[in-house]
Amino acid sequence: MAISKGPQVFPRTEFLRRLTAVKSEMVRRDIEALVVFNVHNITYLTGYTTPSGYVPDGLVVLIHEEEPIFILRQMDAPAAIHQTFMSRDSILAYPEALIGTPEKNGYDAIIDFLHEKGLGNRGVGFELGDLRFHAVTKFRTRLPNAKLEDCTNLVTWIRIIKSDLEIAIMREAAAISDAAMQRAAEVIRAGEREADVAAEIEATLARGANGKPGTNIASNAICSSPRTGTAHIRWSEDVFREGSQINIELAGIRHGYTVPLMRTFSIGEPSERLNRVHVAHLAGLDAALETIRPGKTCSDVANAFHRTYEKHGFKKESRCGYAIGIGWIEPTASFQSGDMTELKPNMTFHLMLGNWFDEDFGYMFSESIRVTESGVEVLTNTPRRVITL
């Protein structure tokens, strides 16, 4: 029997609006079809959040068709019918025989479709930057007469300004991030295993907040003494101790939308050095938040942070943040000197002020923010302090 349509997170009009923006850009670049491989861009244009991960999915946006065509493995087609806004005719399953074989794979199904549509000698856009080398070779070999246009990040740049509907979902995800950080504060104590705290964080990220469950789990990090100089260790097999410092980065997720948050914890009073670092970060955060408004650039925000931070005697090498939305990072604008992206209302960023000073000393502190009509909204709502336990 047919699978039912699942509850839709966004109305059809929202997806059509997104597709219209993509098609405008396709017209500008003179391409008739755009093949989207990036899983986050597929989520953006369809609502699908369930990729197999290791096999190709391809979404083909045709300039003259309202709905895109989603080509994916047979095993995943029912999920696509269930999750996406499109009609079932827009979901094309390719056979499982294309999985795990060296000669043929899902890319062949996508290429076959382009040929059937008569696009073999037309302008076709690809996200070449999202493709593995062998996939590109296959496209070039099997579409020798198409005008292949590199459209890497075409969709990603459209994603950078969120609709109010997307912002509403991101606020729900932010509340989950806050709940998980709150839960960490409740369970971290000397003698506790890091894995048991990780368990409570992961569980909270799934349960969600305000009746809205998390819909996925991201790669969260717990970097505790003597590992506070590391940035991405998931957790260790160690236990927390009196005097331990614990750096946590986590993110609530709703329907793909991911809102990161960093805080630093101390079991017992923080060291004098940690307190000084925190004061500098607070000042830098304030300077950045005061700068964020439409018309300013990403570079302006970074410079405001660095100027203030360096007055406190510290220096941060890594960028101060990056665009967020679907997936942990949107690879478009960054808060770093020289990034001249102009801020516009409903852009969203992880204002990532984590800093790793020495091999054995780092500090995590961040907020996720939205650019408003006149300034900034901080989406996350966790106390801005070294959380002392």
Nearer to its own copies among residue 7 and residue 118 (C-beta): 7
Interaction of residue 207 with its own copies, rule CB under 8 A? yes
Q: Which of 99, 274, 282, 389 binds its own copies (CB under 8 A)?
A: 99
Q: Which of 115, 134, 147, 385 binds its own copies (CB under 8 A)?
A: 134
Nearer to its own copies among residue 62 and residue 187 (C-beta): 187
Nearer to its own copies among residue 32 and residue 194 (C-beta): 194
| Torsional class of 249: left (φ above 0), alpha (ψ -120 to 50), beta (otherwise) | beta
Residue count at the site for its own copies (CB under 8 A)? 84
Least distance (Å) between residue 130 CB and its own copies: 7
Distance of CA 195 to the CA centre of its chain: 25
Interaction of residue 148 with its own copies, rule CB under 8 A? no
Pairing of strands 257-266, 387-388: parallel
In terms of Cα–Cα distance, which of 6, 345, 384 is closest to 160? 345
- Give residue 303's identity as a one-letter amino acid code: N
Interaction of residue 340 with its own copies, rule CB under 8 A? no
Nearer to its own copies among residue 101 and residue 374 (C-beta): 101
Q: Are 305 and 314 in contact (CB under 8 A)?
A: no
Nearer to its own copies among residue 60 and residue 91 (C-beta): 91
DSSP letter (8 states) at residue 343 = P
Least distance (Å) between residue 373 CB and its own copies: 27
Euclidean distance between CA atoms 289 and 305, whole angstroms? 9
Interaction of residue 50 with its own copies, rule CB under 8 A? yes
Euclidean distance between CA atoms 276 and 127, whole angstroms? 45
Identify the helix (H) or strand (E) that includes residue 305.
helix 298-311
Which token pair is 184?
A: 């960490």
HSE-CB for 99 with a 13 A CA cutoff: 15
Tell me which stretch binds its own copies (CB under 8 A): 58-66, 115-123, 324-332, 366-374. 324-332
Least distance (Å) between residue 342 CB and its own copies: 17
Q: Which of 28, 145, 191, 232 binds its own copies (CB under 8 A)?
A: 232
Interaction of residue 318 with its own copies, rule CB under 8 A? yes
